[in-house]
Amino acid sequence: MKCAICKHGETRPGTVSVTLERSGATLVFREVPALVCDNCGEAYHDEAVATQLMQRAEEAVRAGVEIDVRRYAVA
């Protein structure tokens, strides 16, 4: 697909790191599957991945995590 941000690049399957901040917590998920623009690097996640990231972030915040770095793994 054509990148919606730079309008020049094409997206290709890859992985990226995603940093989420919420309620004083900083969470970094590494090796998250995404379509990545070959020109600007913008990452696009499908709905299932985005939903899972948000669920894991909510669980971490509820558990009192302040800083966490973890490898994304499909459940």
Structure pTM?
0.88
Is the pLDDT confidence value at 75 over 80?
no
- For residue range 17-61, list pLDDT tens digits in order: 999 998 889 999 999 999 999 999 999 999 999 999 999 999 999
Torsion over CA of 58, 12, 42 and 74, rounded to 10 degrees?
A: 10
Check residue 5 and give its pLDDT: 96
- CATH fold, domain 11-71, is Ubiquitin-like (UB roll) (3.10.20)
- In the block, tokens 């509820």 appear at 62
Query: Would you give the end-to-end CA distance of the chain in angstroms?
Result: 27
Boundaries of every domain in the chain: 11-71
Q: Which amino acid is at 44?
A: Y
At residue 8 the predicted structure's pLDDT band, cuts being 50, 70 and 90, is very high
